[in-house]
Structure 1
Amino acid sequence: MAATSMAAALAASLPAPSAAPAPAAPTYEAIPASMSKVIDIEAEIPLTFVQLDGMVVTKILKHAREAPSTTAHGLLLGLDLDGVLEVSNSFPLPHHGGDEDDRSSKSVARYQASMLRSLKEVQADDSVVGFYQATSLGAFFNQTLVDTQAIHQDKLRHGGVVIVHDLSQTARGNASFRAFRLTAAFLSAYKKSNFSTTSLVNHSLTFSSILEEVPLKIRTNPLLSSFINTLTQPSQSSVLGSDGELGAGTTGSTIPPSFARLDYGTAGLTRNLEQIVEAVDNYRTEEGNLAYLSRQIARERAKADNYVAKRKEENATRVAQGLAPLPEEDVARLFKIPAEPSRLESMLLLGQIDAYGKSLAGTASTGLVKMYAAKAGSGRD
């Protein structure tokens, strides 16, 4: 009773709260009709192409060259505007080869959050629009890439893209960058986690319909282009003549000439053939595992069918004898019939074989043309 009176006295001694003014309702201005198609708030404008900044290209090239293996990957930052996905910045993600999967994924997540927070503090682009992946010989089909892109397409505007950089093409003097995203048919099967034979037929899925390519353009800064042009131009230098007087001389450009295009490209053929053989062996192993599982499923189903048929015969005999039929038991409880195995890994391996084959065909055809050109240039019959 004393505590109640004390609280009442304390409440009475406090000043009465002043009536707070009602907050004004926010007002929104309608987007002008001329800008309604440009300001794509609801992400209704379909993505037409990807625009890759020249700085992003150099960052990816540098990361792929310095990475210990072909596992270089990172995030792409930018903005989608009027159907164009502009990639203006990127940063690499660390690779933990010997760590546990759980620990490494948490470490990468912390690093990613820290980098995005730092970019936001300096008012740089911090909107994730996809990721990039370095590969070799064009074989970028793997489970990790599919899982990462599926997460991005579920959470990012326009689904984001994955930029694939081919190291083998860059080594021959051709910087290869391609943009991909998952198809709607594959995403439908992926969300259901169903890659059985029936699902593949219903969704018309093959290895070539997992990803769809998005047109990609590379945008360079005009000042950077002008600077590179000045480096490629021959420069004038002062040379000391035989008479001791200075004279004007012409030297080569600052950038040394590249003779990569004169390479026959035969050095990578052996590696390419080894990769094809390895991919075919992996595919045969996977198909063998699928065949073994299919035989197990067929045996269990045969046992269940025989049990059901036998029980029906017994019940028919009991009914003919005037006895009550035996209760039908749950077949799924008695026989553990495994689910049909996923054929996603087989499709990915077929995609790798196809990519290795195309890379081999391109390298061999280019090298053959160069050999014929070299033979014609040497004047030999």
Structure 2
Amino acid sequence: MSTSMAAALAATLPATQSNAPTAPAPTASESIPPSMAKYVDIEAEIPITSVQLDGLVVMKIVKHGREAHPAPASGTLVGLDLDGKLEVSNSFPSPAPGEDEERAPKFGAPNPKYEERVLRSLKEVNSDSGVVGFYQTTTMGAFLTQSLVETQASNFEKLRHGGVVVVHDVTQASRGNAALRAFRMTPEFLEAHKKRKFDTQSLIDNRLTFSNILEEVPVVVRSSVLLSAFLSKLTQSPAAPPLPSLGITSTSTLSDSLSPTYSHLDLTSPTHLSRHMESIIDTLDLYKTEEGNLAYLSRQIARERTKADAYTAKRRDENAARVAQGMPPLPEEDVTRLFKIPPEPSRLDSMILLGQLDGYTKSLEASTGSGLVKMYAAQAGSPS
């Protein structure tokens, strides 16, 4: 009886179509809410005009740089670009050499497997997982290095808008200044980097110097409303409630707030000035050595070219004399096979050293300028 009842119910149901077409998967543009479609740059056509760092990202970069000091620290930035603003919402550090071999690659090279695992974990918790660049810490303002240039150039084809690099100066942070700057590659340098030519003619054609390898992008730090309220609360000195039955105000709660400091008015000579001068001298020595190598190679190229030109002129005169005597001219030989003329050396290392020297001098100028202001202020306030 039960079987016949089930059969009767099944007969009344509509027949299922096994070959019904499945709904197509939503594309990237269809998955974006209509309210955000006009702000999301799907085709990466809107140029980046500013970089917005979340307050948590800033604290992570500062903490990583302080823990890794004096060694440089680096990591990956994730976020989203909206209407020309690159919003960096999260970051994670890259493993340093000497850690787990599975996490840390040799020579500090980026580890794609480790990065993929972290990005997969971020995607599983519905967090931003789009890589928008990387960050790197430096000391005394000299951030332009060969590894930074190569990493940023390799990221240009992989990331939207070429990606950015955020540089944090640990030396400035130790003096209470959160020095954060964002940079991206210039089209002139990318044009020369694609050809892998940094000789004199290439630098002239692309108008390249150390100052236009990277271009700076304005940085904006965004903090949440709760964090802003907490910081404003710390800067205040609330009055403590009076003690019961005594009418005396306690000052023990004043230590909970951020009391004013006068450390910026300290006139003692900072030790970083001597390190600045040592770094400048070392960079100058390296630049002098590099220029000496370039000069030696240039003289060697000039000698070989002179020999090749002399051989070509001699062969031309011999053929002219043979033609005048009615004899057939000698076949022209390939000069490059007879004379090993080396290619013109790259001047990229020299430009990078000049960029490091420029960073050291600007950082030194900033630190000594504040020291001079304090000395003049103290002299004006001292009794005559």
- For Structure 1 versus Structure 2, the TM-score category normalised by the shorter chain is 0.7 to 0.9
**Aligned residues of 1:235 and 1:253 also touching (Cα < 8 A):** no
1:155 aligned counterpart, secondary structure: coil
State yes or no: 1:325 paired with 2:329. yes
2:142 aligned counterpart, secondary structure: coil
**Could you report, residue by residue, the CA deviation over 1:67-91 in whole angstroms, capped at 9, with x for unpaired residues?**
0424111111100011110001001
Inter-CA distance 289–211: structure 2 relative to 1 (3 Å threshold): same
**Aligned residues of 1:172 and 1:260 also touching (Cα < 8 A):** no
**Aligned residues of 2:78 and 2:129 also touching (Cα < 8 A):** yes
**Aligned residues of 1:231 and 1:253 also touching (Cα < 8 A):** no
How far apart, in 2, do the equivalents of 1:365 and 1:104 lie? 38
How far apart, in 1, do the equivalents of 2:25 and 2:77 lie? 35
Alignment correspondent of 1:354 = 358
Task: Compare 98-107 and 306-315 and name the one that shifted more.
Answer: 98-107
Alignment correspondent of 2:52 = 51
Alignment correspondent of 1:6 = none
State yes or no: 1:61 paired with 2:65. no
What's the TM-score once normalised by structure 2's chain length? 0.86
Q: Which amino acid aligns with 1:148?
A: T
Q: Which amino acid aligns with 1:316?
A: A
Structure 1 residue aligned with 2:131, among 128, 137, 142? 128
**Aligned residues of 1:283 and 1:349 also touching (Cα < 8 A):** yes
Structure 1 residue aligned with 2:179, among 168, 176, 179? 176
**Aligned residues of 2:40 and 2:81 also touching (Cα < 8 A):** no
Alignment correspondent of 2:14 = none
Q: Which amino acid aligns with 1:252?
A: L
Structure 2 residue aligned with 1:252, among 233, 250, 254? 254
Alignment correspondent of 1:370 = 374
How far apart, in 1, do the equivalents of 2:109 and 2:363 lie? 36
**Aligned residues of 1:79 and 1:87 also touching (Cα < 8 A):** yes
Task: Compare 356-365 and 85-94 and name the one that shifted more.
Answer: 356-365
1:1-381 equivalences in 2 (<5 Å): 20-21=19-20, 37-96=38-97, 103-104=106-107, 108-237=111-240, 245=246, 247-250=248-251, 251-254=253-256, 255-264=258-267, 266-379=270-383, 381=384
How far apart, in 2, do the equivalents of 1:33 and 1:97 lie? 48
Q: Which amino acid aligns with 1:368?
A: L
How far apart, in 2, do the equivalents of 1:136 and 1:32 lie? 43
Give the superposition deviation at 1:34: 8.4
1:154 aligned counterpart, secondary structure: coil
Give the superposition deviation at 1:158: 1.3
**Aligned residues of 1:266 and 1:367 also touching (Cα < 8 A):** no
How far apart, in 2, do the equivalents of 1:159 and 1:145 lie? 14
**Could you report, residue by residue, the CA deviation over 1:166-207 in whole angstroms, capped at 9, with x for unpaired residues?**
111111111110111111011100111111111111111111
How far apart, in 2, do the equivalents of 1:107 and 1:216 lie? 25
Give the superposition deviation at 1:32: 11
How far apart, in 2, do the equivalents of 1:161 and 1:294 lie? 36
How far apart, in 1, do the equivalents of 2:345 and 2:49 lie? 37
Give the superposition deviation at 1:35: 6.2
Structure 1 alignment gaps of length 5 or more: 1-17
Structure 2 alignment gaps of length 5 or more: 1-16
Q: Which amino acid aligns with 2:171?
A: S
The number of equivalent residue pairs is 361
**Could you report, residue by residue, the CA deviation over 1:39-76 in whole angstroms, capped at 9, with x for unpaired residues?**
31111111111101000000001000000424111111
Task: Compare 208-217 and 118-127 and name the one that shifted more.
Answer: 118-127
**Could you report, residue by residue, the CA deviation over 1:242-272 in whole angstroms, capped at 9, with x for unpaired residues?**
xx84743234242354443223463221111
Q: Which amino acid aligns with 2:357?
A: I
What's the TM-score once normalised by structure 1's chain length? 0.86
Inter-CA distance 263–136: structure 2 relative to 1 (3 Å threshold): farther
**Aligned residues of 2:64 and 2:93 also touching (Cα < 8 A):** yes
Task: Compare 146-155 and 56-65 and name the one that shifted more.
Answer: 146-155
How far apart, in 2, do the equivalents of 1:309 and 1:98 lie? 63
Inter-CA distance 92–288: structure 2 relative to 1 (3 Å threshold): same
How far apart, in 2, do the equivalents of 1:136 and 1:119 lie? 31
**Aligned residues of 1:139 and 1:352 also touching (Cα < 8 A):** yes
Give the superposition deviation at 1:377: 3.0
Q: Which amino acid aligns with 1:205?
A: L
**Could you report, residue by residue, the CA deviation over 1:274-293 in whole angstroms, capped at 9, with x for unpaired residues?**
11111111111110000001
Task: Compare 143-152 and 115-124 and name the one that shifted more.
Answer: 115-124
